[in-house]
Amino acid sequence: MQRMSIKLAGIAALCLLFWLCLGAVRGVLFERQAYAEQVVADIGREYVAEQTIMAPFVQVPVMSVCAADAAPAAAKPTPTPTPAAASGWVGKAACKPTLVRMAVLLPQAATWQQQWQVRDGQFQRGIYATKSFNGTVAVSGSLDARQLVLANNESADWAQAQWRMAVSDRRGLAAMPVLKTGSQAQTFVAQAGLPVEGGIRWLQAPAQIRTDAAQPFAIDFELAGTQSVRVLPLGEDTVLNMQADWPHPGFFGTNLPLEKSINAQGFSARWHNPAAGQDNANMLQGCLNAGTEQVGCWNWDSGWQQMGVRFVDTTDNYSLTERSLKYGMLFIVLTFGTFFLYEVLRDLRIHPVQYVLVGAALTVFYLLLLSFGEQVGFDYAYAGAAAACIGLIGWYLHYVLAGWRHALACSGLLALLYALLYWLLHTDENTLLIGSLLMFALIALAMFLTRRVDWYALPSKAVRRLPEKSGDDGDL
């Protein structure tokens, strides 16, 4: 009994040792993942980065109304030597309207149509590549100048009104967006001068606004980017329709699509949330009048409502390897537990060095998976690393367990575990349920195999025979 207690303590110590080894492998994984992300960021700086599009709006300067223009006829003064300031009014010759604020005129309704073609590996550096996309964006809607609310002493300077929109990385524009209002068409131009906080440089175009009726508009442009695209809606009623030929979208932002359809050919999604456009309108109004001094005002990730999609790589080597590492300790414990059962049930003696060598092979599997996955992809790397480790351990167990029969049985069990792990890694739903049931089945199997073991009799005759009973399932 004392020898078996020492053996169990030694196995526990070895499990702790390999837990630390798996932690070291995880550190290598994170280092490689960080380097890959840095390369993707470098590609974004050199080509084009993730794209954020702010919906178009009209910026209208609001001026103060001169007192002479606002005063009724009966209030016009008679010529006296009284100073203008003391008389309470300013003559037309001395009156100069001043800018009070920048008002935002938003579309009453806007519909977005986005079509994206996604490419994998178009931009690559060494073994690292990034997702890229390009496609068309079309925005159509209506604008009503009568919605602009002015105070009694304010007037809108429509001659200086401008259409504005923003694209986070203008390098992705094949050409400047084209604005169509009725029969007129004009091209947006980049804002002159330095960009505002956050590197934003507005795209702007003169606004020829009708003040007596609603005015339809349309904006079209082609855009390219990497990794993801998102829209910051503006207006009372914004509908975003998006289609792409990528079958693995990752929707993100503060608003998820109301409708979506995903298949092997790609996906389509539809967003509609009036509150999102109104919240962004309040943010925009505050930021335009606060200027660039308001810290974080133009940080899209701070307070702005967003509708976005990320083009996800479900075969990402690093994320899948990280998930598989979470099961590494389970593989080692199950393998060592199998060895211990062989020692108890088959009266074999397995040296701690043999435990160490098999545990090392199980640990090296993850290094092989990581390194080969960077070269050939996760699926091929998993098959190759699993086959190599199963073959090596099976060959070694032929000598440890003194025969091919038990070695093949252990190798088959290990192959089954690797197959189950691969299945779990590619199962998006019910992973916890499946894993829990498998653990329960393994515990039940261990209890079944050791049901006749007299643990107090170890290491002498460990398997005792129970009295024969009718219908008994026999001895182990």
Task: Convert the pLDDT of each residue in 311-347 to its tens digit.
Answer: 988 777 898 999 999 889 988 998 888 888 887 777 7
Half-sphere exposure of 358 (CA within 13 A, CB side): 32
Chain-centre distance for alpha carbon 275: 23
Residue 466 reports pLDDT greater than 60: no
Judgement on whether residues 321 and 283 belong to the same structural domain of the protein: no
Say whether both 350 and 302 belong to one domain: no
Measured CA to CA, the distance from residue 417 to residue 331 in angstroms comes to 8
Contact assessment for residue 257 and residue 244, using Cβ atoms and an 8 Å cutoff: no
Helices (H), 258-377: 274-290, 317-325, 328-345, 352-376
- The answer, yes or no, to whether residue 71 has pLDDT greater than 70, is no
Q: Is residue 187 part of a domain?
A: yes
- Specify whether 363 is located in the same domain as 426: yes
In this prediction, residue 173 has a pLDDT band, given cuts at 50, 70 and 90, of very high
d(CA 440, CA 458) in angstroms, rounded, equals 26
The pLDDT of residue 79 is above 50: no
Q: Are residues 291 and 374 in the same domain?
A: no
| Whether pLDDT at 300 is above 80 | no
Are 29 and 322 in contact by the 8 Å Cβ rule? The answer is: yes
DSSP annotation of 317? H
For all residues of the chain together, what is the average pLDDT?
A: 82
Reported as a pLDDT band with limits 50, 70 and 90, residue 284 is confident
> What's the confidence (pLDDT) of residue 80?
43
pLDDT at residue 166 tops 50: yes
Residue 88 lies in a domain: no
Residue 174 lies in a domain: yes
Are residues 188 and 153 located together in one domain of the fold? yes
Task: Mention every residue, 6+ apart, whose C-beta is less than 8 A from residue 455.
Answer: 1, 462
Which residue from 329, 361, 390, 373 is spatially nearest to 28, judged by alpha carbons? 373
Q: What is the pLDDT of residue 424?
A: 86
Beta strand 189-190 pairing with 259-263: unpaired
Structure-model confidence comparison of residues 289 and 9, the more confident one: 9
Measured CA to CA in angstroms, residue 227 lies from 124, 170, 230, 314 at distances of: 13, 16, 11, 13
Average pLDDT value for residue range 229-246:
91
What pLDDT shows up at residue 84?
35
- Burial environment of residue 343 by CB neighbours within 10 A (0 to 12, 13 to 18, 19 or more): middle
Examine the pLDDT at 48 and tell me if it is beyond 60.
Answer: yes
Q: Is residue 154 part of a domain?
A: yes
Number of structural domains the chain divides into:
2
The band of 27, judged by pLDDT with boundaries at 50, 70 and 90, is very high
Q: Last residue of some domain: 252, 279, 311?
A: 311
Task: Examine the fold and report which residue of 311, 338, 370 is the final residue of a domain before the chain moves on.
Answer: 311
- Considering only residues 427 and 388, tell me which one the structure prediction assigns the higher pLDDT: 388
- My answer on whether 292 and 390 are in the same domain is no
Residue 260's pLDDT is 93
Task: Please report whether residue 437 resides in a domain.
Answer: yes
Residues 386, 269 within the same domain: no
Evaluate if residue 358 carries a pLDDT over 90: yes
Same structural domain for residues 419 and 348? Answer: yes
DSSP 230: E
CB 100 within 8 A of CB 155: no
Same domain, 201 and 336: no
Do 144 and 97 meet the contact criterion of CB atoms below 8 Å apart?
A: no
Q: Are 169 and 49 in contact (CB under 8 A)?
A: yes
- Provide the whole-model pTM: 0.73
pLDDT attached to residue 232:
93
Measured in residues, the chain has a length of: 476
Would you state the torsion angle of the CA atoms of residues 252, 301, 52, 206, taken in this order, to the nearest 10 degrees? 140
Q: Do 144 and 289 belong together in one domain? A: yes
255 part of a folded domain? yes
What average pLDDT does the segment 82-97 reach?
A: 47
Q: Which domain holds residue 427?
A: 2-33+317-457
Give me the residue label for tokens 């470098």.
Answer: 42
75-84, 106-115, 356-365, 429-438: range with lowest mean pLDDT? 75-84
In this structure, is residue 406 part of a structural domain? Answer: yes
Same-domain status, 59 and 28? no
Q: For residue 83, is it within any domain?
A: no
R_g over Cα of the chain: 35
Q: What pLDDT band is residue 459 in, cutting at 50, 70 and 90?
A: low
217 and 279 part of one domain: yes
How many other CB atoms sit within 10 Å of the CB of residue 223? 22
SS3 182: coil
Assess whether pLDDT exceeds 90 at residue 153: no
Share of the chain above pLDDT 90, in %: 36
Question: Comparing 383 with 296, which gets the higher pLDDT?
Answer: 383
> What phi, psi does 313 have (nearest 5°)?
-100, 105
Q: Which two tokens stand for residue 269?
A: 């999604």
Where does a domain end: 311, 345, 375? 311
- pLDDT bracket for residue 257 (50, 70, 90): very high
Segment holding 163, helix H or strand E: strand 162-167
DSSP codes joined into one string, 144-159: EGGG----TTEEE-GG
